[in-house]
Structure 1
Amino acid sequence: MIEEQSQPQGFMHWLRESVTVKLVFIGFLVLILLIPSVLIQNLIQERSTRQDDTEKQVSDQYSGSQLVQGPVLVIPYKTQVKENVASGKEVTKEVIKNIFILPNELNYNANVSPDVLHRGIFEVVVYNSAIKVSGNFTRADLNLLSITPDQLMPEKARMLFSISDLKGLKTNPQFKVAGQVATAEPAFGDNVFANGLQVAVNLTGMMDKAIPFDFNLELNGSQELSFLHLGKTTDVTVKGNWGSPSFSGRYLPDIRKIDPKTNTFEAKWRMLYYNRPFPQQWADDYSLIANSKKTDDATFGVKLRLPVDQYQKTMRSSKYAILIIMLTFISLFLTEMISKQRIHVFNYVLIGAAMIVYYTLLLSFSEQIGFTFAYLIASAATVILVAAFLRSLIKSMRSTGLFAFILSLFYAFIYIIIQLEDLALLVGSVALFLIIATLMYFSRKINWDRH
């Protein structure tokens, strides 16, 4: 009877003291903590989506990202077409079609004044810009289009241009074309550009000459200002008081000067028509420039986004959650073995919970004070909490101090990895190698055959 009672007691003692059982439990707990880790990442994504929705809402109310397109010169011409009527006879009918000519020289000179609007805890970059557009058109090569000069109707010519969000237009553009001054009006009935504007010009007697033009745009927008490469030679200069611009599109600027100290930038592009996806002239086809693939290939500009995206960095931090939890548990286990003071499995659960709550602290603080200070506060709070809890369990100041130092190194390591880009893989691999080597060194002191 005594032997029967001692066997269950012996089994329970082995279950409590077995290193193998403890390691299996730690591994199981790490897997269980994957669930709240995924939920935390979903929360971060939800907050990031809310920020995007806020940016879209503010852009809809203020003005969206702006794409400046054009101008394009449109010249009507008369041509004869043959049609079959109901009686079966073939009749000749005169119709009006159009020639489309792109600029020979196209110059954009933009000064951008950004501002930051606040909507709750979210921030959205908007801007006011003054853009001078100038250039010239040269005569069309009518032979390539199989058109004769007497077919042209230069007195009914017009110039088309577009901006992507007309709500941002603050003044009515005044065009100067070949000595004529005209006011832009909405362009209805064609689809050369979305949100098109046009000016009517009389080019009688000017078809063999260069036709100069210039106009000014006072334009509001948000986050991005882009241009469409339409000139045979396109020159663009953009200046602004923003210390952290990025450049978008297929073409990077030839010259860029960014001065974070004065919070200013200047960028210049010069592009030739060899890599432009549009011909210099064509007839009849309204939809050629409206082709989204070609438009994307010819669009370039500057983005004025906020320099720090706390959601992106918090998400990157959360992806290392399981690594931090696993290394923390291994360090805690080694501390337990070396100090020979048992830590109950429930205490592992509580410490794991603190590791997860860390990311909600990081997310909530980063929305208020920025990622760097939020990371410092969340890391310090977690290290202090876990170290104080461990101190109450093992009663060893030396072991507790060593564990707190190791945990601090883990958080510092993750922060460095997040800040790095090109060297992140190299630094991360070397650091993990050193961590494993350190764990190997301390694990030598454990008698694995004892339990």
Structure 2
Amino acid sequence: MREQPQKPSWHTDSVLIKLGIIAFLILLLLIPSSWIQSLIIEREGYQQTERGSVIKNWADTQLIQGPVLMLPYKKQITETDAQKKVTIHEAIFMLYLLPQNLRIKAAVKTEPFQKGVYDATGYNAQVAITGDFTQPNLSEAGIDPAEVLYDKARLVFSISDIKGLKNNPVINIQGQNYNADVAADDLIPFEKGLQINFPLQKDKGFNFSYLLNLKGSNELNFLHTGKTTDVELSSDWRSPDFGRFMPDSKNINEKGFSASWHMLYYNRPFPQQWLNSNQVLANQKDIKAATIGVKLQLPIDQYRKILRTTKYSTLIILLTFISLFLAEMIKNERVHVFNYVLIGAAMVVYYTLLLSFSEQVGYNWAYLISSVSTIALIAVFTASLLKNNIVAITFSLILSIFYGFIYIIIQLEELSLLFGSIGLFVIVATLMYFSRKINWDKQ
């Protein structure tokens, strides 16, 4: 009597059961993937801390404010006490005036720093500031010209991190040079300021110019204080972020960037002149609304790249498991679920390799080292499982395409979504094509 062929058991050969187990494994692998993302964020936090310590020893973000003309005037004050005794005394008040035209031209050269495995970027800047003031409108301010102390006029300006100043600024006013000193009283309109004292000619405006040689980090900004403010900025940095106000013209290439702004007083929240208040230029919301400048933004630093790469980990594991499953179905070879677990573990460890190597040799080399090592490991393991070198080589090529595809997406910024969508469409279409050869009803 002929023996009946033994039917395969449901728990080993059922396609649906195995697909369910594979899906469950993918969900389980999300747990170590989230741990790795937390590790990357933690390492990025260390980087920010180390950058902060480097910047502290160099110079912080720079915001250049001013100049502002401070013109004191005296006034007779009459007071009556409780006994109705009248006393008259003289008090000093202040008129503040902003420039009519303000022109700023800055050249920025970046300065890379490294502390351990962390990088930071500082800069040196040459900032030439020129402009002019018109004569104060005393009648509008209700000031008697005879009360104005023209010989005690002051010109004040501010640099947010004064330790970054590399020269003693010399202010030229109508051909006369004046050395700037630290402004120490409560009348100046900035938190920190420099000033000069000079005799202002009665009923006349004046031109001014000065040069700032300073260092800073991350950002260089200017406060829009002129009735018209023109800014020209150039740098060797190739990835600028211009913030709130986009420049009227810009040019960005491999050598760096140049940009220029032309701002009118409609775009600033400050009056042209005001009386007796040193808080008009102190409101942080107004300062932010009138700030022009650039952030020397890293295009995509290594931690952002790695974090973006890990966000595709589920997709890579899913596509890898599906490809392996299709290979075993087409070749009629069985791969145990435990072997799927080992392959998934290798693909999770890939991201710790990527993180650790990137801190030493940079993202690109780390990606190459980690990808080649992981693909080679999985290919050799697959060859031993399926006893078929051709299938293993094909599988390694598929993995290479997956990792190459992710690498291209990470390098792109604005076009990453477009290329990612097209690539996924091609991958799904390929899987659909090869899945036609599988008899899903076969047990």
Asked if Structure 1 and Structure 2 have the same fold, meaning a TM-score greater than 0.5 normalized by the shorter chain, the answer is yes
1:139-178 equivalent positions in 2, closer than 5 A: 139-178=135-174
- How far apart, CA to CA, are the structure 1 residues paired with 2:434 and 2:78? 94
1:270-281 equivalent positions in 2, closer than 5 A: 270-281=262-273
- How far apart, CA to CA, are the structure 1 residues paired with 2:241 and 2:394? 47
Partner of residue 231, structure 2: 236
- How far apart, CA to CA, are the structure 1 residues paired with 2:398 and 2:79? 87
- How far apart, CA to CA, are the structure 1 residues paired with 2:348 and 2:251? 43
Partner of residue 346, structure 2: 354
- TM-score (normalizing by structure 1): 0.90
Structure 1 residue identity aligned to 2:198: V
SS of the aligned residue for 1:118 comes to: strand
Deviation digits for residues 397-441 of structure 1, max 9, x if unmatched? Answer: 222222222212211221222233333333322322332232223
Does the Cα contact within 8 Å between 2:240 and 2:257 map onto a contact in 1?
no
Partner of residue 57, structure 1: 53
Partner of residue 440, structure 1: 432
Deviation digits for residues 20-78 of structure 1, max 9, x if unmatched? Answer: 22111111111111111111111111121112112211111111121111110011122
1:102-251 equivalent positions in 2, closer than 5 A: 102-190=98-186, 192-203=189-200, 206-240=201-235, 242-251=236-245
Instruction: Name the % identity.
Output: 51
Aligned residues: 437
Deviation digits for residues 226-257 of structure 1, max 9, x if unmatched? Answer: 211111122222333x1414142332333333
Structure 2 residue identity aligned to 1:200: N
Return 5+ residue gaps in structure 1 as ranges.
1-8
Comparing 391-400 and 168-177, the one that deviates more: 168-177
- Residue 252 of structure 1 is aligned with which of 231, 246, 259? 246
Structure 1's 432 and 245: CA in aligned 2 closer, same or farther, altered over 3 A? Answer: closer
- How far apart, CA to CA, are the structure 2 residues paired with 1:135 and 1:114? 27
Structure 2 residue identity aligned to 1:46: E
SS of the aligned residue for 2:428 comes to: helix
Does the Cα contact within 8 Å between 1:245 and 1:302 map onto a contact in 2?
no
Does the Cα contact within 8 Å between 2:241 and 2:297 map onto a contact in 1?
no
Cα distance, 1:286 vs structure 2: 0.9
Partner of residue 335, structure 1: 327
Partner of residue 20, structure 1: 16
Cα distance, 1:311 vs structure 2: 1.1
Deviation digits for residues 58-112 of structure 1, max 9, x if unmatched? Answer: 1111111211111100111223556563447776654322111001121222232
Does the Cα contact within 8 Å between 1:125 and 1:305 map onto a contact in 2?
no
- How far apart, CA to CA, are the structure 1 residues paired with 2:372 and 2:283? 54
- How far apart, CA to CA, are the structure 1 residues paired with 2:233 and 2:389? 60
- How far apart, CA to CA, are the structure 2 residues paired with 1:126 and 1:423? 29
Root mean square deviation, CA, Å: 2.2
Structure 1's 345 and 303: CA in aligned 2 closer, same or farther, altered over 3 A? Answer: same
Deviation digits for residues 133-163 of structure 1, max 9, x if unmatched? Answer: 2211111222322222123222221111000
- How far apart, CA to CA, are the structure 2 residues paired with 1:422 and 1:112? 26
Does the Cα contact within 8 Å between 1:249 and 1:297 map onto a contact in 2?
no
Does the Cα contact within 8 Å between 1:178 and 1:211 map onto a contact in 2?
yes
Comparing 436-445 and 223-232, the one that deviates more: 436-445
SS of the aligned residue for 1:392 comes to: helix
Structure 1's 357 and 152: CA in aligned 2 closer, same or farther, altered over 3 A? Answer: same
Comparing 193-202 and 169-178, the one that deviates more: 169-178
Does the Cα contact within 8 Å between 1:249 and 1:296 map onto a contact in 2?
no
- How far apart, CA to CA, are the structure 1 residues paired with 2:83 and 2:31? 78
Deviation digits for residues 161-182 of structure 1, max 9, x if unmatched? Answer: 0001011112221222244432
- How far apart, CA to CA, are the structure 2 residues paired with 1:15 and 1:81? 100
SS of the aligned residue for 2:352 comes to: helix
Cα distance, 1:308 vs structure 2: 4.5
- How far apart, CA to CA, are the structure 2 residues paired with 1:79 and 1:434? 81
- How far apart, CA to CA, are the structure 2 residues paired with 1:74 and 1:267? 31
SS of the aligned residue for 1:33 comes to: helix
Cα distance, 1:121 vs structure 2: 1.5
SS of the aligned residue for 1:249 comes to: coil
- Residue 365 of structure 2 is aligned with which of 346, 368, 373? 373
Comparing 74-83 and 369-378, the one that deviates more: 74-83
Report whether the alignment pairs 1:282 with 2:257. Answer: no
1:308-347 equivalent positions in 2, closer than 5 A: 308-347=300-339
- How far apart, CA to CA, are the structure 2 residues paired with 1:84 and 1:358? 83
- How far apart, CA to CA, are the structure 1 residues paired with 2:354 and 2:219? 29
- How far apart, CA to CA, are the structure 1 residues paired with 2:104 and 2:419? 44
Structure 2 residue identity aligned to 1:195: K
Deviation digits for residues 188-234 of structure 1, max 9, x if unmatched? Answer: 2325112211111122xx23212121222221112322211111122
Structure 1's 208 and 396: CA in aligned 2 closer, same or farther, altered over 3 A? Answer: same
